[in-house]
Amino acid sequence: AQSVAQPEDQVNVAEGNPLTVKCTYSVSGNPYLFWYVQYPNRGLQFLLKYITGDNLVKGSYGFEAEFNKSQTSFHLKKPSALVSDSALYFCAVRYTGRRALTFGSGTRLQVQP
């Protein structure tokens, strides 16, 4: 079955420290991978995507993600976290032949001052 897993419900990190939010996906064809962020009472905002090419993708607000085909992972990273990064983060995949995105359950990132 086509699925996306975000194994951590919540990630806590101190401001200024690096952060990682994990995402793995089930293997089916050539998936296209996305990260979105959701702030309270808002819709989802696009951060970055991997379609093809360089495995390290850079996106908005200093975020980046690394595509690892052998581990079927697409972890979101940032070298230095900000308190304002605190939000809900969703990994999403578009599988070949599907029109819409399949989303993970989300990971809440809490950055402490």
Partner 1 sequence: ETGVTQTPRHLVMGMTNKKSLKCEQHLGHNAMYWYKQSAKKPLELMFVYSLEERVENNSVPSRFSPECPNSSHLFLHLHTLQPEDSALYLCASSQDPRVNTEAFFGQGTRLTVV
Task: Output the 3-class SS for the chain.
Answer: CCCEECCCCEEEEECCCCEEECCEECCCCCCEEEEEEECCCCCEEEEEEECCCCCEEECHHHCEEEEECCCCEEEEEECCCCHHHCEEEEEEEECCCCCCCEECCCEEEEEEC
Name the one range near partner 1 by CB under 8 A: 10-18, 62-70, 73-81, 100-108.
100-108
Name the one range near partner 1 by CB under 8 A: 18-26, 44-52, 60-68, 73-81.
44-52
Q: Is 100 in the site for partner 1 (CB under 8 A)?
A: yes
Question: Minimum CB separation from partner 1 for residue 81, in Å?
Answer: 23
Nearer to partner 1, 43 or 113 (CB): 43
Question: Minimum CB separation from partner 1 for residue 14, in Å?
Answer: 26
Chain residues binding partner 1 by CB under 8 A are 4, 32, 34, 36, 41-46, 49, 51, 90, 94, 99-106
